[in-house]
Amino acid sequence: MPPHVATPHALPTHAPEQFTTVGRRTSPSARRSGPLGSGLLVSAAAALTVTLLPATASAVPGTADEVAAQVAEASHELEVVSEQLNEARVVLDGHRDDARAATEAAEAAQARLDSLDGQVRLLARSAFTGSGMSQLDVLLSSDSADQLVSQLGTLDVIAGHTDEVLSGVSLASADAEQSRDDAAAAAAEAQRVVDEIAAKQEDLETRIAEYQQRYDELTAGQQAEVARAHGGDSLPAPAPSGVVAPSSAAQAAVNTALAQVGDPYIWGAGGPNAFDCSGLTSYAYAAAGVTLPHSSASQSRMGKAVSRGDLQPGDLVFFYSPVSHVGMYIGNGQMVHASTSGQPVKVASLDSMGSYNGARRIAG
């Protein structure tokens, strides 16, 4: 299959612009596929909960180090929320696909109904023309017993066919009505999800702005401490030729991910110039012709499970429970990932996140 290429979009000047809110400015990335970006969704529509920032993040800190610690915690909390929204996109897209399929089924059933209705009319006309005869007509007009049996058999066939067509019309009508009901229900559920996410958006944008303001107030050393607390120290990125993946698809994904080292982290971004964690991995595998949902939780259900001891370059590695962060393994106990706001895409130790959850092999 041809590789999927992410649509370019302008980089916002701060993280909140990556999300859209009804009645507010829409980012270029949000225009890619519908009124709420690529389709904002909920991992389970009724279960989406916007995680609150730690209460201490709004308190006056005692020391600059406390501010750094609070910002590091806020960074993780916001990534959790951001990945919930990414998962929500996947769910909403599924609802829209269901609605589209149900509508197509309804149209197909209606076309079948129209076709069968025409057949019924033809049969009805034939019953009142020279080709249609009653059993009495057959009895009076038959010249022999053999002819009588033959003509009665023909009448039975016509009657049986008529019954079959009428039954088909009835089934087609029921199918069309059920398909319409399914389409309406799926569309209504998709709209409910959109409305629920839209109501959560403004609160999330406010929290992202609060985080960004606090982060910008930190010294360079404190910002580095935040990065170490959520993503680890940056390691030298290996040359693509130095990473050997088990398949051409995995190799293409690894090469693409490594080529993004240095690009900024933006919540909700999926490339080509900025990324969040699942945006990077989905973008990398799209270059290999493999479509992955832009959600760490959804990606953790793709491919097949791999033990930590059997990791190979190209495998996706997941962190926290429930999953809210993903990176790509590149060998030697290292991964490439988009770690946190304020930090570029980088290579880091697999142990830098501190809460390894598992791994999945997508290709190879």
- The reply to whether 290 falls in a domain is yes
Q: How far is CA 18 from CA 8, 87, 151, 177, 201, in A?
A: 13, 16, 77, 41, 11
Kindly state whether residues 262 and 187 are assigned to the same domain: no
Domain presence at residue 11: no
Q: How far apart are the C-alpha atoms of 146 and 152, rounded to whole Å?
A: 10
- Chain segment 155-188, per-residue pLDDT in tens: 555 556 566 766 776 787 788 788 888 888 888 8
Q: Are 342 and 253 part of one and the same domain?
A: yes
State how far the alpha carbon of 278 is from the alpha carbons of 38, 67, 157, 165, 328, in Å: 14, 27, 63, 53, 10
Which of 26-30, 80-84, 196-200 is least confident?
Answer: 26-30
Q: Which residue has the higher pLDDT, 48 or 215?
A: 215
Q: In angstroms, rounded to a whole number, what is the distance separating the alpha carbons of residues 53 and 230?
A: 15
Backbone angles phi, psi at 355, to 5 degrees: -145, 60
pLDDT band at 76 (very low <50, low <70, confident <90, very high): confident
Structure tokens at 147: 């002819």
Asked if residue 280 and residue 216 are part of one domain, the reply reads: no
The CATH number given to whatever domain includes residue 298 is: 3.90.1720.10
For 319, phi then psi, to 5°, come to: -135, 155
Supply 21's token pair. 């809110």
- Structural domain contains residue 153: yes
Q: How does pLDDT run across 31-64, given as a tens digit for each residue? A: 333 322 333 333 333 334 433 344 333 334 446 6
Same domain, 297 and 328: yes
Judgement on whether residues 186 and 297 belong to the same structural domain of the protein: no
pTM flag (> 0.85):
no
Percent of the chain predicted with pLDDT > 70 = 66
Can you say whether the dihedral through the CA atoms of 304, 307, 312, 313 is positive or negative? Answer: positive
Residue 349 to residue 74: CA distance in whole angstroms: 22
Report which of residues 315 and 354 the model is more confident about: 315
The reply to whether 1 falls in a domain is no
Q: What is the pLDDT of residues 267-309, one digit of tens each?
A: 889 999 999 999 999 999 999 999 999 999 999 999 999 999 9
> 2 lies in a domain?
no
pLDDT band at 246 (very low <50, low <70, confident <90, very high): very high
Residues 194, 147: one domain? Answer: yes
Domain boundary pick from 209, 230, 251: 230
Residue 333 has pLDDT above 70, yes or no: yes
Name the residue with tokens 């009645």: 23
- Residues 321 and 357: their CA atoms lie apart, in Å, by 7
Last residue of a domain, one of 230, 246, 265: 230
236 and 149, same domain (yes or no): no
Interhelix angle 277-286/64-127, nearest 10 degrees: 50
Q: Is residue 152 predicted with pLDDT exceeding 90?
A: no
According to the model, what pLDDT value does residue 174 have?
A: 81
Q: Is 315 helix (H, G, I), strand (E, B) or coil?
A: coil
With contact defined as beta carbons under 8 Å apart, do 273 and 263 qualify?
yes
Q: Does 4 map to a domain?
A: no
Cβ neighbours of residue 11 under 8 Å, at least 6 residues apart? 264, 266, 273, 274
DSSP-derived secondary structure letter, 275: B
Question: Are residues 259 and 215 part of one domain?
Answer: no
Answer with the residue of higher pLDDT: 122 or 309: 309
Residues 216 and 237 both lie in one domain:
no
pLDDT band at 136 (very low <50, low <70, confident <90, very high): very low
Question: Quick one: angle between helices 220-229 and 64-127, nearest 10?
Answer: 50
- Consecutive H or E run containing 126: helix 64-127
Q: Which residue has the higher pLDDT, 211 or 126?
A: 211
174 and 273 share one domain = no
Host domain of residue 283: 231-364
Is 277 found in the same domain as 175?
no
Out of 213, 230, 247, a domain closes at 230
What tens digit of pLDDT does each residue of 20-32 get?
332 233 333 333 3
Q: Please report whether residue 76 resides in a domain.
A: yes
Whether residues 67 and 144 share a domain: the answer is yes
Q: Catalogue the active-site residues.
A: 277, 325, 337
Residue 6 lies in a domain: no
**Going edge to edge, which strands form the sheet with 334-337?**
304-306, 356-361, 316-319, 325-331, 334-337, 346-349
Count of the separate structural domains present in the chain: 2
